[in-house]
Structure 1
Amino acid sequence: MSNAPRFDIDVPAFWADPYPDLARMRKEAPIAFVPQLGSTVFTRRDDIFTQEKRIDVFSSHQPAGLMNTLMGHNMMRKDGEAHMSERSAMFPAVSPRTVRDTWRRQFQAHADRILDELAPAGRADLCKAFALPLSAECLKDITGLTNMRFQDMDAWSQAMIDGIANYTGNKEIEARCHAATAGIDAAIDDMIPVVTKHPNTSILSVLLAAGMPIDSVRANIKLAISGGQNEPRDAIAGTIWALLTHPEQLAWVTGERAKWIDVFEEYARWIAPIGMSPRRVAKPWSYGGVDFEPEDRVFFMFGSANRDEACFSEPDRFDITRDTAKSIAFGAGPHYCAGAFASRAMVADVALPSIFARLKGLRLDQSAPVRIGGWAFRGLLNLPVLWDAI
Structure 2
Amino acid sequence: MATDAITVGGVDLTEPDVYLAGMPYDAFRELRHRAPVAWHPHGDTGFWALTRYDDIYAVSRDSETWSSQATGVFFDVPAPEDAYQLELMMLTMDPPRHTALRALVSRGFTPRHVARLGARTADMAREIVDDALERGECEFVNDVAGALPSYVIAELLGIPTEDGRRLYALTDIMNTRPLHDPELVQAQTEMFEYASALAALKRASPGDDIATALLHAEVDGQRLTDLEFNLFFLLLINAGGDTTRNLVAAGTLALIDHPEQRLRLTADPSLMPTAIEEMLRWTSPVTVFTRTATRDTEVGGVRMRSGERVAMFYPSANRDEAHFADPDRFDVGRTPNQHLAFGGGGTHFCLGASLARAEAAAIFREILTRTTDIEPIGPVERVRSVLMNGIRSMPVRLVPAAVPA
TM-score by length of 1: 0.88
| Alignment partner, residue 207 of structure 1 | 214
| Alignment partner, residue 339 of structure 1 | 352
| Alignment partner, residue 231 of structure 1 | 243
Does residue 58 (structure 1) correspond to residue 66 (structure 2)? The answer is yes
For the residue of structure 2 that corresponds to 1:41, the secondary structure is strand
* Of 358, 361, 382, the match for 2:393: 382
Aligned equivalents of 1:267 and 1:244: distance in 2? 12
Does residue 110 (structure 1) correspond to residue 115 (structure 2)? The answer is no
For the residue of structure 2 that corresponds to 1:51, the secondary structure is helix
Q: How many aligned residue pairs are there?
A: 377
Does residue 156 (structure 1) correspond to residue 164 (structure 2)? The answer is no
Query: Would you say the 8 A contact 2:374–2:398 is kept in 1?
Result: yes
For the residue of structure 1 that corresponds to 2:388, the secondary structure is coil
Q: Which amino acid aligns with 1:6?
A: D
| Alignment partner, residue 185 of structure 2 | 178
Could you tell me the percent identity over the aligned residues? 24
Query: Would you say the 8 A contact 1:124–1:384 is kept in 2?
Result: yes
| Alignment partner, residue 83 of structure 1 | 98
Query: Would you say the 8 A contact 1:74–1:216 is kept in 2?
Result: yes
Deviation of 1:70 after TM superposition, in Å, equals 7.2
| Alignment partner, residue 257 of structure 2 | 245
Unaligned runs of 5+ in 2: 218-222
Aligned equivalents of 2:173 and 2:144: distance in 1? 20
Q: Which amino acid aligns with 2:142?
A: K
Aligned equivalents of 1:229 and 1:186: distance in 2? 19
Deviation of 1:344 after TM superposition, in Å, equals 0.8
Query: Would you say the 8 A contact 1:362–1:385 is kept in 2?
Result: no
Deviation of 1:223 after TM superposition, in Å, equals 1.2
Aligned equivalents of 1:63 and 1:31: distance in 2? 20
Q: 1:337 to 1:266 in 2, by over 3 A?
A: same
For the residue of structure 1 that corresponds to 2:175, the secondary structure is helix
Q: 1:152 to 1:51 in 2, by over 3 A?
A: same
Query: Would you say the 8 A contact 1:235–1:273 is kept in 2?
Result: yes
Compute the RMSD of aligned alpha carbons: 2.5
Aligned equivalents of 1:71 and 1:282: distance in 2? 15
| Alignment partner, residue 233 of structure 2 | 221
* Of 363, 369, 375, the match for 2:379: 369
Deviation of 1:160 after TM superposition, in Å, equals 3.0
For the residue of structure 1 that corresponds to 2:146, the secondary structure is helix
| Alignment partner, residue 7 of structure 1 | 5
* Of 21, 24, 28, the match for 2:30: 24
Deviation of 1:198 after TM superposition, in Å, equals 4.3
Aligned equivalents of 1:319 and 1:184: distance in 2? 39
Query: Would you say the 8 A contact 2:125–2:363 is kept in 1?
Result: yes
Query: Would you say the 8 A contact 1:72–1:216 is kept in 2?
Result: no
Q: 1:49 to 1:71 in 2, by over 3 A?
A: closer
Aligned equivalents of 2:310 and 2:85: distance in 1? 20
Deviation of 1:35 after TM superposition, in Å, equals 1.5
Within 5 Å, which residues of 2 pair with 1:209-358?
Answer: 209-210=216-217, 211-256=223-268, 258-332=270-344, 333-348=346-361, 350-358=362-370
TM-score by length of 2: 0.85
For the residue of structure 1 that corresponds to 2:393, the secondary structure is coil
Query: Would you say the 8 A contact 1:237–1:380 is kept in 2?
Result: yes
Q: Which amino acid aligns with 1:27?
A: H
Query: Would you say the 8 A contact 1:71–1:222 is kept in 2?
Result: no
Q: 1:144 to 1:257 in 2, by over 3 A?
A: closer
Q: 1:371 to 1:162 in 2, by over 3 A?
A: closer
